[in-house]
Amino acid sequence: MTKIISMALVAGAVLMNAQVGINTATPEKELTVNGTMKTSGMVFKKPMEKLGANENYTFIIKSPAPENKITAYNDSFVPNSPAPINLIQFKITCDPSDKDWVNQFDTKINAQKFFVVISSFGFTQPVRSSTDWVTPVPQIYAYPLGGTWKLKADYQGFSPASSLPTGEWTLNLLVFDRSYAKDVSSTQDLKASSTGAAAAPLIQ
């Protein structure tokens, strides 16, 4: 009887420390699921274990009812797959004859699937006029045209000195998946006043 109890305790200890695999013969963690899984009341380990440098991850988003759509983003499994929010940087060298003008740059980003915002920018050359007290204001914006997002960047009416090298714009874009972002716009006429208010809150 003593031997039987001892063997049961040893087997129980081995089982408690074993790795369990569902639909896989080579589990990597205490529980590894290869496929899809639905859970309720899941308890997470505390503290949460950090992923190693070479370990994969998946970012899962569930849409509200009644759709209850679940979307998984995983850059390790599908290279160049988008996340809900992406940061993209373009470095654009200008036309040597103008030095600061980017009239239309096609990002090739799908305007139907994504929303683009220019979060910050930089320019490599000083831009000024013959009058020291005039500070040029850049025209920089993103706009959809022909199904993709285009970029414009220019110090309109100004340019770097002819002795300077051609300028280079650095444009940092925030690219949002339209499934998880709203594009809300409003046009309002202030008429003869310099102040005003929205007719109704666009979001609340």
Give the CA distances from residue 151 to residues 66, 87, 187, in Å, rounded to whole numbers and listed in that order: 37, 15, 22
Q: Is 69 among the domain residues? A: no
At 150 the pLDDT is: 98
Q: Is 115 among the domain residues? A: yes
8 Å CB contact between 82 and 177:
yes
At 89 the pLDDT is: 96
Three-point CA angle 36, 41, 44, nearest 5°:
80
Q: Is 150 among the domain residues? A: yes
Q: Is 161 among the domain residues? A: yes
At 73 the pLDDT is: 63
Q: Report the predicted TM-score, pTM, of the whole model to 2 decimal places.
A: 0.60
Element (H, E) at 3: helix 2-16
8 Å CB contact between 19 and 28:
yes
At 11 the pLDDT is: 47
Q: Is 63 among the domain residues? A: no
| CATH value at residue 97 | 2.60.40
Q: Which domain holds residue 123?
A: 85-177
User: Torsions phi, psi of 200, nearest 5?
Assistant: -155, 155
Rounded Cα distance between 57 and 61, Å, is 13
| Overall number of domains in the chain | 1
At 181 the pLDDT is: 84
8 Å CB contact between 186 and 200:
no
Element (H, E) at 175: strand 168-177
Per-residue pLDDT tens digits of the chain, which is 204 residues long: 554 554 444 445 444 556 777 888 887 777 777 777 676 666 666 676 766 767 666 667 677 767 777 766 665 545 566 778 899 999 999 988 888 999 999 999 999 999 999 999 999 988 765 666 567 889 999 999 999 999 999 988 888 888 888 899 999 999 998 888 888 888 889 999 999 998 888 888
Q: Is 40 among the domain residues? A: no
At 7 the pLDDT is: 47
Task: Look at the block and give the residue holding tokens 């060298």.
Answer: 93
At 77 the pLDDT is: 47
Q: Is 58 among the domain residues? A: no
Q: Is 94 among the domain residues? A: yes
